[in-house]
Amino acid sequence: MKKQIFIPILLFFSLSSLYSQKKVDSLIEVGVTFHDKQEYDKAIEVYERVLKLAPNSALANYEMAFTYHYKKDYEKSLQYGNKVIKLNRDYLLKAYTLNIANLHFLDKNQECIILLKQAIQKLGDNYVFYHNLGIQYSILDNYNEAEKAFIKAITLEPKIADTHAVLGDLMLIKKKRIEALLCYYYYLMLQPNSDQSRLKYILLIKGLQGASEEDKNRPGMINVFLDPKELEGEFGQAAMLLNLLESNRAYKIKEGKSEEVIFLETTKLLFQMLKDMQKKRKEENKSLWWDFYVPFFVGTIESENIEAFCYYIGSGVNPKAREWIVNHWGGKTTKLIDWMKKN
Going residue by residue through the chain (343 aa), what tens digit of pLDDT does each one get? 344 434 444 444 443 444 467 778 888 999 999 999 999 999 999 999 999 989 999 999 999 999 999 999 999 999 999 999 999 999 999 999 999 999 999 999 999 999 999 999 999 999 999 999 999 999 999 999 999 999 999 999 999 999 999 999 999 999 899 999 999 999 999 999 998 999 999 999 999 986 555 555 655 555 555 676 767 778 988 888 887 777 666 666 667 789 999 999 999 999 999 999 988 776 656 899 999 999 999 999 999 999 999 999 999 999 999 999 999 999 999 999 999 999 9
> Is 88 within a domain?
yes
Give a yes or no: residue 53 inside a domain. yes
Domain that holds residue 69: 30-105
How many domains does the chain divide into?
1
**Residue at 49 is within a domain:** yes
Is 66 part of any domain? yes
DSSP 189-238: HH-TTSTTHHHHHHHHHHHHH-EEEE-SSSTT-EEEE--HHHHHSTTHHH
**CATH code of the domain containing 54:** 1.25.40.10
Q: Please, which residues have CB within 8 angstroms of residue 255's CB and are 6 or more apart in sequence?
A: none
Cβ burial of 302 (10 Å; 0-12, 13-18, 19+) is: exposed
Say what percent of the chain tops pLDDT 90.
73
Residue 278 inside a domain? The answer is no
State the pTM of this model.
0.87
Ramachandran angles phi, psi of 58, nearest 5°: -65, -40
Does residue 213 lie within any of the structural domains? no
Within a domain: 55: yes
